[in-house]
Amino acid sequence: MTAKPWLSEYPPEIPHTLSYEPIPVQEYLSRTAKKHGNKTAIHFMGKEMTYRELNEAALKFGNYLQSLGIRKGDRVGIMLPNCPQNLISYYGILYAGGVVVQTNPLYTEREIAYQMRDSGAKAIITLDILYPRVAAVQKETELENLIVTGIKDFLPFPKNALYPYVQKKQYGITVKVEHSGTNHLLTEILKTAKPEVAETPFDFEEDLALLQYTGGTTGSPKGVMLTHKNLIANATMCNAWMYRMKEGEETVLAIIPFFHVYGMTTVMVLSVMQGNKMVLLPKFEAETALKTISKQKPTVFPGAPTIYIGLLNHPDIRKYDLSSIEACLSGSAPLPVEVQEKFEKVTGGKLVEGYGLSETSPVTHANLLWGERVKGSIGLPYPDTEAAVFKIGTTEPVEPGEVGEIAIRGPQVMKGYWNRPEETAATIVDGWLLTGDIGRMDERGYFYVLDRKKDMIIAGGFNIYPRDVEEVLYEHEAVQECVVAGVPDPYRGETVKAYIVKKEGHDVTETELDEFCRKHLAAYKVPRIYEFRKELPKTAVGKILRRSLVEEERKKQEQTESVPS
């Protein structure tokens, strides 16, 4: 057996090793604007923007940030859905020498405040309807400037005129922000700023491009430090893997949010590197997605299992032409085989499962798009990516077929966790990133994920950390003890379930707990199921046995499925 048995499985089109040009991520936008300036970069709800226009807007944004005092290494938050402003601000921050802090637009005030404090961000760009949330916590953070934009700002007429009425009906609020003091409007910035930035010194190996917040292998969310090299390496690997993609000729459907590192790398960074057109959707809604595919004819469609399931389950899917789709890489959760087969039958394209983590920029493994695929496998490691299975608790490799902890080494592996040297040292050992995922590798080098060592829940492609939810539940006066776990769900992969022990003399209903959680948590983190118990299973020292509850839930489901209908 060779040290890297997977290399012999590569088709001749995929190189065993790649070269990575030592330039900053934003340099690819500058180059593409020169080479493909008149090509469409973005299609957004009927309006299009060329690469030349995108680059000019990003330079203006970077110029304005520098005028606000943003300097090399300063962190700047982006709290936006997939829209043109997201790309403008992402590349503008990098042009200014800053570090992007991706922030989920669904976050509550509590979650925003934590992430801004932890990152030390000096500025943030967000939507007008989200402005009240950010403004409410500004004094708790180091945020000096709030930059505001609206979806209507980049819509064609008459949609831009009608959108405020749609927004008011949908969200029940109208927000007006003046361009003065520490509040800034993106529309005004793009009218007045010059498309030029002061150059800053650059170190390919060391300089950060991104802080991507994740729970890591344990605990509360941490900022994953991703360098320019990390992001360029991973996008270059994705490009090599998808070797039939033609530079400047592909149309990429951008449903996966850019605030998720998977969407950011496989859609945004890779598309800009190649000069491909991105069709942006601010959120996933099955009918809108089907109409968009039928009309815009995307050829590449990175997604998550819940997205493909949602499309397949739409009653009118047969009415839409999905035949333009050629390649889909599924990430963020295991891809059921039946979903893969059905989606390929409907589109005629290829859908394969990949694997990765925020700590790896994110992709490390994938099945072959145009070659043999192994059912149940996450596929083969990418070029220049070393992968191993270690005996749990060690860096001692196990034999092929044996179960252990999956570990990764390669140029896409993070620099570490922001301001957390001890947790970095516990996660990166002897140069190997310990993933916390339990799996095995077969003789040919195909990898399989069997379980997660960590307790993180993946529901609908979102990472949910039980501790976040438990801390909120413990704030309720009626809750004595609680534990949150991910339980199997046929659509979301997993769903959040809370087990509650009530305080003596107190009462609370599921509805009351649901309302309480919705005030303090993003909607996708709110438990879907509540179960009240007299006591919770514990170890001899009092630690609640979360895994035993999950096992209990799985057994219940197996018994239900085995009962004849």
Residues 393 and 503 in one domain: no
Choose between 492 and 119: higher pLDDT.
119
Phi/psi of residue 65, nearest 5 degrees: -60, -45
Q: Read off the pLDDT band of 438 (50, 70, 90).
A: confident
Residue 286 inside a domain? The answer is yes
- In terms of residue numbers, what domain contains 39? 25-201
Residues 388 and 242 in one domain: yes
Residue 45 inside a domain? The answer is yes
Residues 435 and 462 in one domain: no
Quote the pLDDT of residue 543. 64
CB 346 within 8 A of CB 312: yes
Question: Helices 228-241 and 25-35 meet at what angle, rounded to 10?
Answer: 50
Quote the pLDDT of residue 563. 66
Residues 440 and 473 in one domain: no
CB 331 within 8 A of CB 362: yes
Phi/psi of residue 182, nearest 5 degrees: -95, 5
Phi/psi of residue 200, nearest 5 degrees: -125, 150
Token pair listed for 492: 């979301």
Residues 411 and 523 in one domain: no
Amino acid of residue 400: P
CATH number for the domain harbouring residue 134: 3.40.50.980
Is it the case that residue 541 has pLDDT exceeding 50?
Answer: no
Conformation bin of residue 536: beta by default, left when phi > 0, alpha when psi is -120 to 50: beta
In angstroms, the CA 79 to CA 325 distance is: 30
Work out the mean pLDDT of the chain and round it to a whole number: 92
Residues 158 and 252 in one domain: no
Which residue, 403, 406, 407, is CA-closest to 432? 407
Quote the pLDDT of residue 554. 82
Question: Helices 25-35 and 51-67 meet at what angle, rounded to 10?
Answer: 140
Q: pLDDT of 179-209, one tens digit each?
A: 999 999 999 999 999 999 999 999 999 999 9
Amino acid of residue 318: R
Say how many C-beta atoms besides its own lie within 10 A of residue 554's C-beta.
12
Residue 143 inside a domain? The answer is yes
Residues 291 and 164 in one domain: no
Domain's final residue, options 454, 474, 490: 454
Residues 151 and 138 in one domain: yes
Is it the case that residue 169 has pLDDT exceeding 50?
Answer: yes
Quote the pLDDT of residue 1. 42
In angstroms, the CA 165 to CA 169 distance is: 6
Amino acid of residue 281: L
List residues bridging with 224 in a β-sheet. Answer: 212, 417
In angstroms, the CA 182 to CA 337 distance is: 51
Q: Say which residue the tokens 């390929």 belong to.
A: 344
Burial label, 537 (beta-carbon count in 10 A; 0-12, 13-18, 19+)? middle
Residues 480 and 396 in one domain: no
Say how many C-beta atoms besides its own lie within 10 A of residue 445's C-beta.
22
Is it the case that residue 516 has pLDDT exceeding 70?
Answer: yes
Is it the case that residue 166 has pLDDT exceeding 90?
Answer: no
With a CB cutoff of 8 Å and minimum separation 6, the contacts of 278 are 41, 42, 43, 87, 251, 252, 254, 267, 268, 271
Residues 107 and 233 in one domain: no
In angstroms, the CA 346 to CA 325 distance is: 10
In angstroms, the CA 426 to CA 417 distance is: 11
Residue 217 inside a domain? The answer is no
Which residue, 357, 360, 359, 353, is CA-closest to 384? 360
CB 36 within 8 A of CB 248: yes
Residues 242 and 158 in one domain: no
Q: pLDDT of 58-67, one tens digit each?
A: 999 999 999 9
Is it the case that residue 431 has pLDDT exceeding 90?
Answer: yes
- The structural domain count of the chain equals 3
Q: pLDDT of 365-419, one tens digit each?
A: 999 999 998 988 999 999 999 999 999 889 999 999 998 999 999 999 999 999 9
Residue 223 inside a domain? The answer is no
Report percent pLDDT > 70 for the chain.
96
Residue 213 inside a domain? The answer is no
Token pair listed for 381: 């490691």
Residue 116 inside a domain? The answer is yes
Domain's final residue, options 405, 436, 454: 454
Dihedral over Cα of 351, 357, 358, 359: its sign = negative
Distances (CA, A) of 139 to 72, 182, 318, 499: 24, 12, 52, 35
CB 537 within 8 A of CB 472: no
19-28, 306-315, 343-352: least confident range: 306-315
CATH number for the domain harbouring residue 546: 3.30.300.30
List residues bridging with 114 in a β-sheet. Answer: none
Residues 435 and 509 in one domain: no
Domain's final residue, options 454, 486, 517: 454
Q: pLDDT of 211-261, one tens digit each?
A: 999 854 445 789 999 999 999 999 999 999 999 999 999 999 999 999 999
Residue 396 inside a domain? The answer is yes
